[in-house]
Every structure is written in C-alpha cells, then in structure tokens.
C-alpha cells in the first residue's frame, strides 16, 4: 500500500480500492462531486492514470503533523532523505538557502527539528527511522537526533559508498553518504528479538554456480568439488569470505562445510562422553573442552547424517554445516553500490533524464527488509519523497514476496532553482500550469510511480507488464472552517478516517446532502446517529458486514452520554469519537 501526502501534498497508496482524494488543511475528497480535483481512479495493471489537477503549494511542515492523526504510533520504519544543505537545495521561508548564508546550518536544523519530532511520534514501539545525509550536515544531524530520539536509541551509522570518484578533489575523492539509524526504543527492539540480517554477498551467484556444476558432474562428487573450488578461486573477490569454505557436496548435491564439534569454552560434565565410531564401535578422540552438543543431541545428529566420521576411530569427527543454513549474517554497516545504475533505471522509466542522483530502490528495499525484519505488513513513511524511490522499492518488495507493506510518501512540487528563476522571468509563477508541470511531483514522482504501477510510460510506450497495485494520490491544500461545520461535508475528512482505519478498501463517503444513519465497508464503519436504536441497528449491520473483532468504527457525536453508550455496545471493536465539527478532529496545531 502506498500513500503520498505533503507540501502540495501528494500521496500514493498501493493495495487499495481506487479512490480519488484531495487532502486539504484537513482534507477535501474526490470522487464526490463536491470538488473538481482529479487525481487517479485506478492503477491496476495496465490501466492509465489521469494527470493530477493543479494545486496550490502547502508545506511539509503542515503535511507531516497531519499524519499524526491517521498514522500515529503505527509506522514500522521512517525513511528520510532531507535536503543535504549543499546550497540551493532547500527552501526556507520561501527562499532557497545559499552556501553564503551565515545561518544556513541553524536554519537547516530548525527545518529538520519539527519534522523529526513528528517522525518520532509516528513510529511504533519497535519502529526505526533512517535519515540519509552527507558530510555537510552529518555532525549536526547526529546531535539533533540524539536530542530527539535519545542517544541510547542510536542503532547504526551506515556508510554508503557510491563508488564515484573526483580526481580534482584536493583530499579524498568523496562520494560517501551516511544513513543514521535510530529506534523509537532500542530496549523494545531487543525485547522483540529484532535481528538485522542480510544475505551474504555473492550467495545467489555461488548457489547458482554450484547447482550448474552438480548438474554437469553428478554423481561424481570429487570432480564436482574440484570444479567448484576452481570457480571459487576465480570469483573469490565477489564472494563473502564466509561462503568460500562451502565447497563440499553431499550425495544429494547439497553444499556443506565440515566444522568443529568442540565446545568453544568452559567445561561441562554433561558434554564429556564417549562417541563411538560407527564402523569400529570404538570411542573417537574427544576435544579437550568436551563436545559441543549433549549426548542426546549428538545421537540425533549421527542418526540424521550430520556427523562426519573419519576412516576409523583415530580421526576426530566433524559437524556437517549446510550452506542453506548460513545464507544470512549480521548486516554490515557499509553499502558499496554504484549510484549511476539507479539513474539509468529512472531514465528507463521516464524516457529521459529528469532527476539527478536518485536513491537506489534496490538498496532501499534491502534496508527496509533488514530493519523491519522482513515484516511483510510493515508501514514505511518517507517524508522527503523526492523521485519516489522508496515507493518504488515498496512496490517491488510486495511484488517479489506477496507482501502487503504500506508506503506513505510525502513530497512537494518544488521547481529546481535555476529553472524556477527562468520560469518567473518568463512570467510563470507557482500555480500556473506551465510552472507547476516542471515541479518534482508532476515531472518525476507521479510519472515514475504511475509507470511502475501500470507498466505504461507517459508517452504510451510499454515499460513493463505492470504490477497488481492500487495507488491513491492526495494533496494537502487549505479550506475554511465554515465549510466543514456541524453535519456538513463529512467527505472532507473521509480520507483521514479511512487512513486511520488502516487505509484498505474503498473510502466511505456520503452521497448527497443528507447524512445516512451509518456507513459500512468490510474494513471499518461510521455511525452518524448515536441514539440507542441507531446504535443497535449499527451493531447488527456490522455483524452482517462481517467486520472482524477489533476493526475500527467511528461514532459522530458531541454528546458524552451517547458516545459512552455506543462504546459499551460496540466493545468488540476499536471505537473512535468524531465530533460533529469535523475539522476539530484533525486540525493541526502549531
């Protein structure tokens, strides 16, 4: 699932039923005829998406607090690649921040602080935040994150070597970015037994080569091992060292390595016993510290063929450790990945070069899987959506393993500074179609996600077969309190209610000026009339609709007594109160 919201807030959501929606300072919705905004009806495989309508600019500062209502404490992983503050890449108080600005570091920190505080509130108890940064603000960012998340919740600093070099650099060739990783609570992560594991470098390549050799030589084990060892020597530079000893084949073609059966340290009486050789029935030499396994466990291993005995009892036996049991290892805090590959793939998607140095969706997918422990239902939030790499990564991950991950992507529609100046010089300003079509959302993020989801580029050419994904784009603009006063325009907040309920299935909206007694889908429900009889009818309707226990239901009432009665009657569900002045439920306070 993907959601996108942000300054000129655009949102992508995957694995939803198609819905158009427009976030306002709370929200204004479409497909209801109350608005004219047209974003997207359906992104199922092969279907085209209409272009988004023109909008006014909002700010990330408004978009991110808005997320607190629907998503609070529910996000597994927050990914952020803020402006690196290299000069001309950050708008602060409606002006690009320049290198010459004596206060650019403090302004950048002010820009980041509020967003990081919101991010912390959005994280689940075992949530993790990753912030990508370069040398310009790395030191300042580390101190700020220590202050907001607590130094005790620092988890890792990953160095990303893009393998680019600058021969004209005076000191080093540079090319490094960093990912600062913090947890909402390191203690909770440890209590949940979170372990960050990654596939060993070259594992898939190694397995494929071994399978090919075995197919060509079986059942000649010595010949197969000879060829595999020669292949390993020739490819050692591409393989994790821990893989290279796995050059033994068993009769089934499985790879293994012999390892010691000695207890690493200490002396335990129950690990000192005679182990008999299966042919001579004589005890084999025991290690000085005793055996690694208990007598019962050792007997089971012998019976299953996991113990390798020598020709006779004079040789010390070894344990047969299969490669399939050693696919992963503790992840190393280093990424060596050529940046140019991501740029080439983005050019292939868009048909031309529109964005320099996009983050690599393959690397992002790997690290999302690592920090969420391969949780297929993870919620991923990216506050600085940029070219849409995070959304692309999540879609690819779901396609690969059938997952139901959700991605919330926040972006604006800012225009690059040089082009912005030229457009203004030519008489085009923010809000003009000619100006806005060059913004990052309309020019990069939207067409990228659309193309990846549908498989069809903007020019109608085929990029791929597409993905079985649904996407919803949203925007945050402004509305007046009067337009959402008592009993009117529930549809204005309907997308946020839907999001609070998990963002699955259709958005429940009201048809016409009159409110129904209630609205129901298979995922959540809304009760507008909270009288005793209406609550009873709602309970029956919920049962008929098949809502699962714990599903979200919303009760619209200002009356404390009526709300209490509804809450008591609907105890099997998660009950939320909506005040009749809908805007007050979701307003953002500075």
How confident is the model over 185-217, as pLDDT tens digits?
999 999 999 999 888 989 999 999 999 999 999
How confident is the model over 315-347, as pLDDT tens digits?
999 999 999 998 998 888 988 888 889 999 999
> Is it the case that residue 93 has pLDDT exceeding 80?
no
Contact 35, 22 (CB under 8 A): yes
Tell me what pLDDT residue 58 has: 32
Task: Place 582 in a pLDDT band, splitting at 50, 70 and 90.
Answer: low
Contact 66, 587 (CB under 8 A): no
The 3-state DSSP class for residue 329 equals strand
Question: Measured between alpha carbons, how far is 53 from 40 in angstroms, rounded to an integer?
Answer: 10
Task: Place 16 in a pLDDT band, splitting at 50, 70 and 90.
Answer: very low
Tell me what pLDDT residue 297 has: 96
Q: What is the mean pLDDT of residues 97-111?
A: 71
Task: Place 156 in a pLDDT band, splitting at 50, 70 and 90.
Answer: very high
Contact 517, 537 (CB under 8 A): yes
Domain spanning 2-196+332-454: CATH superfamily: Vaccinia Virus protein VP39 (3.40.50.150)
> Is it the case that residue 278 has pLDDT exceeding 70?
yes
The CA radius of gyration of the chain, in Å to the nearest whole number, is: 29
Q: What is the mean pLDDT of residues 426-450?
A: 92
How confident is the model over 49-71, as pLDDT tens digits?
333 333 322 334 445 555 554 44
Please tell me what DSSP assigns to residue 45: T
Question: Measured between alpha carbons, how far is 226 from 247 in angstroms, rounded to an integer?
Answer: 9
Tokens of 413: 């529609």
Task: Place 271 in a pLDDT band, splitting at 50, 70 and 90.
Answer: very high
C-alpha distances out from residue 5 to 21, 27, 308, 407, Å: 11, 11, 59, 11
Tell me what pLDDT residue 2 has: 53
Contact 72, 184 (CB under 8 A): no
Using alpha carbons, select from 323, 362, 319, 159 the residue that is nearest to residue 240.
Answer: 323
Contact 189, 313 (CB under 8 A): no
11-20, 146-155, 332-341, 429-438: lowest mean pLDDT where?
11-20
Tokens of 38: 């047209």
Task: Place 477 in a pLDDT band, splitting at 50, 70 and 90.
Answer: low
Contact 224, 248 (CB under 8 A): no
Q: What is the mean pLDDT of residues 148-176?
A: 81
> Is it the case that residue 248 has pLDDT exceeding 90?
yes
Task: Place 112 in a pLDDT band, splitting at 50, 70 and 90.
Answer: confident
40-54, 115-129, 496-510, 567-581: lowest mean pLDDT where?
40-54
Tokens of 26: 């709370």
Q: Which H or E element spans position 249?
A: strand 248-249
pTM value?
Answer: 0.75
The 3-state DSSP class for residue 445 equals helix
Task: Place 46 in a pLDDT band, splitting at 50, 70 and 90.
Answer: very low
> Is it the case that residue 570 has pLDDT exceeding 90?
yes
Tell me what pLDDT residue 505 has: 79
Tell me what pLDDT residue 486 has: 47
- 243 CB-near residues (< 8 Å, 6+ apart): 200, 201, 202, 203, 206, 323, 326
Contact 323, 208 (CB under 8 A): no
Contact 472, 12 (CB under 8 A): yes
Tell me what pLDDT residue 167 has: 64
| Cβ neighbourhood burial of 436 (10 Å; 0-12, 13-18, 19+) | buried
- 467 CB-near residues (< 8 Å, 6+ apart): 45, 395, 398, 399, 452, 453, 455
Tell me what pLDDT residue 338 has: 82
What count of residues does the chain have?
590
How confident is the model over 519-567, as pLDDT tens digits?
999 899 999 998 889 999 999 999 898 898 999 999 999 899 999 999 9
- In the chain the first and final C-alpha atoms are separated, in Å, by 29
Tell me what pLDDT residue 162 has: 73
List, by residue range, all CATH 3.40.50.150 domains of the chain.
2-196+332-454
Q: What is the mean pLDDT of residues 3-19?
A: 36
Tell me what pLDDT residue 537 has: 94
Question: Measured between alpha carbons, how far is 230 from 284 in angstroms, rounded to an integer?
Answer: 33
Backbone angles phi, psi at 133, to 5 degrees: -155, 165
> Is it the case that residue 281 has pLDDT exceeding 80?
yes
% the chain with pLDDT above 90: 48
> Is it the case that residue 289 has pLDDT exceeding 80?
yes
% the chain with pLDDT above 70: 77
Q: What is the mean pLDDT of residues 371-391?
A: 89
- 104 CB-near residues (< 8 Å, 6+ apart): 85, 87, 97, 98
> Is it the case that residue 515 has pLDDT exceeding 80?
yes
Tell me what pLDDT residue 406 has: 86
- Higher-confidence residue of 241 and 489: namely 241
CA 512 to chain centroid:
38
Question: Measured between alpha carbons, how far is 476 from 57 in angstroms, rounded to an integer?
Answer: 8
């Amino acid at each position: 699932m993907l959601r996108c919201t942000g300054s000129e807030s655009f949102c992508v959501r995957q694995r939803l039923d198609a819905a158009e929606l427009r976030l306002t300072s709370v929200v204004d919705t479409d497909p209801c005829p109350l608005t004219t905004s047209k974003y997207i009806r359906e992104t199922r495989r092969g279907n085209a998406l209409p272009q988004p309508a023109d909008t006014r600019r909002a700010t990330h500062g408004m978009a991110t607090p808005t997320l607190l209502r629907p998503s609070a404490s529910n996000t597994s992983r927050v990914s952020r690649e803020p402006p690196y503050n290299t000069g001309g890449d950050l708008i602060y108080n409606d002006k690009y921040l320049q290198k010459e600005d004596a206060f650019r570091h403090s302004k950048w920190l002010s820009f980041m602080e509020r967003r990081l505080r919101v991010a912390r509130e959005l994280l689940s108890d075992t949530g993790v935040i990753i912030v990508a940064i370069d040398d310009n603000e790395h030191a300042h960012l580390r101190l700020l994150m220590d202050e907001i998340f607590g130094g005790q919740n620092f988890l890792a600093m990953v160095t990303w070597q893009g393998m680019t070099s600058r021969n004209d650099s005076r000191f080093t060739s540079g090319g490094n970015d960093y990912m600062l990783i913090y947890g909402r609570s390191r203690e909770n992560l440890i209590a949940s037994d979170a372990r960050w594991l990654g596939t060993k470098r070259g594992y898939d390549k190694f397995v494929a080569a071994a399978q090919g050799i075995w197919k060509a030589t079986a059942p000649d084990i010595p010949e197969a091992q000879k060829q595999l060892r020669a292949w390993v020597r020739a490819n050692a530079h591409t393989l994790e060292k821990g893989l290279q000893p796995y050059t033994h084949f068993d009769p089934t073609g499985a790879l293994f390595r012999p390892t010691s059966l000695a207890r690493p340290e200490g002396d335990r009486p129950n690990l000192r016993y005679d182990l008999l050789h299966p042919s001579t029935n004589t005890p084999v030499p025991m290690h000085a510290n005793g055996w690694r396994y208990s007598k019962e466990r050792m007997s089971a291993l012998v019976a299953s063929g996991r113990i390798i005995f020598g020709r006779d009892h004079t040789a010390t036996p070894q344990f047969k450790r299969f490669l399939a049991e050693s696919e992963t290892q503790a992840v190393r805090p280093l990424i060596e990945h050529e940046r140019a590959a991501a740029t080439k793939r983005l050019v292939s998607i868009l048909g031309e070069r529109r964005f320099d140095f996009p983050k690599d969706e393959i690397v992002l997918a790997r690290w999302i899987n690592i920090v969420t422990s391969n949780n297929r239902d993870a919620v991923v939030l990216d506050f600085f959506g940029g070219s849409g790499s995070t959304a692309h990564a999540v879609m690819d991950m779901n396609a690969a393993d059938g997952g139901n991950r959700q991605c919330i992507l926040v972006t604006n529609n800012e225009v690059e500074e040089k082009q912005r100046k030229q457009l203004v010089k030519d008489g085009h300003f923010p809000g003009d179609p000619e100006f806005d079509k060059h913004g990052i959302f309309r020019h990069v993020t939207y067409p990228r996600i659309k193309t990846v989801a549908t498989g069809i580029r903007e020019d109608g050419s085929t990029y791929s077969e597409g993905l079985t994904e649904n996407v919803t784009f949203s925007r945050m603009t402004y509305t007046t309190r009067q337009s959402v006063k008592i009993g009117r325009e529930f549809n204005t907040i309907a997308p946020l209610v839907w999001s609070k309920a998990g963002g699955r299935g259709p958005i429940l909206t009201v048809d016409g000026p009159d409110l129904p007694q209630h609205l129901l889908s298979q995922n959540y429900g809304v009760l507008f009339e909270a009288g005793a009889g209406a609550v009873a009818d709602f309970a029956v309707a919920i049962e008929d609709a098949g809502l699962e226990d714990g599903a979200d239901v919303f009760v619209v009432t200002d009356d404390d007594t009526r709300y209490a009665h509804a809450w008591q009657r609907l105890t099997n569900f998660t009950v939320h109160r909506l005040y009749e002045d809908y805007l007050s439920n979701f307003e953002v306070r500075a």
